[in-house]
Amino acid sequence: MINNLQDFASWGGGEMGLSIAISGGIVTFSMIYAMMSFPAIINDTTKVSTSESQMTNNQFLRLQTNISISNLQDQSNESLATFQVTNTGNTVLWNYNDFDVIITYQENATNNPISTETLKYANSCSELLSDQWCISQIQNDYIHPGLLDPKEIADIEVQPAHQTKYGGTFTVEFGTDNGVTTSDSVITS
CATH, residue 140: 2.60.40
Task: Evaluate whether 132 touches 121 at the Cβ level (below 8 Å).
Answer: yes
Tell whether 13 and 101 lie within a shared domain.
no
Task: Report pLDDT for 7.
Answer: 54
Regarding whether 77 and 27 lie in a shared domain, the answer is no
Q: Which of 169, 143, 154 is nearest to 67 (CA)?
A: 154
For residues 42 and 79, state if they share a domain: no
Q: Are the C-beta atoms of 50 and 30 separated by less than 8 Å? A: no
Do both 108 and 142 map to the same domain? yes
The better pLDDT of the pair 41, 91 is held by 91
162 contacts: CB under 8 Å, gap ≥ 6: 107, 108, 109, 115
pLDDT value of residue 53: 76
Give tens-digit pLDDT for 61-113: 777 899 999 999 998 877 799 999 999 999 999 999 999 999 999 998 888 79
Residues 55 and 74 in one domain: no
Please say which residue of 26, 43, 63 terminates a domain: 63
| 144 and 98, same domain (yes or no) | yes
Q: Are residues 35 and 52 in the same domain?
A: yes
Is residue 149 located within the same domain as residue 166? yes
Query: What is the Cα–Cα distance from 117 to 102, expressed in whole angstroms?
Result: 6
pLDDT value at residue 22:
82
- Of 72, 59, 64, which is closest to residue 88 (Cα–Cα)? 64
Per-residue pLDDT tens digits for 121-133: 999 999 899 999 9
In this predicted structure, the answer to whether residue 28 has a pLDDT above a threshold of 80 is: yes
Q: How many domains does one find in the chain?
A: 2
Residues 18 and 45 in one domain: yes
Indicate if 83 and 152 belong to the same structural domain. Answer: yes
Q: Select from 18, 39, 63 the last residue of a domain.
A: 63
Q: How far apart (Å, rounded) are the C-alpha atoms in residues 8 and 18?
A: 13
Check: pTM over 0.95? Answer yes or no: no
Distance CA 185, CA 183 (A): 7
Residue with the bigger pLDDT between 25 and 158: it is 158
By C-alpha distance, which of 91, 82, 108, 90 is closest to 174? 82
User: Is 50 a residue whose pLDDT tops 80?
Assistant: no
Helix (H) or strand (E) holding 118: strand 114-121
* Residue 87: domain span: 67-187
Query: Do the Cβ atoms of 168 and 187 come closer than 8 Å?
Result: yes
User: Which tops the pLDDT comparison, 6 or 186?
Assistant: 186
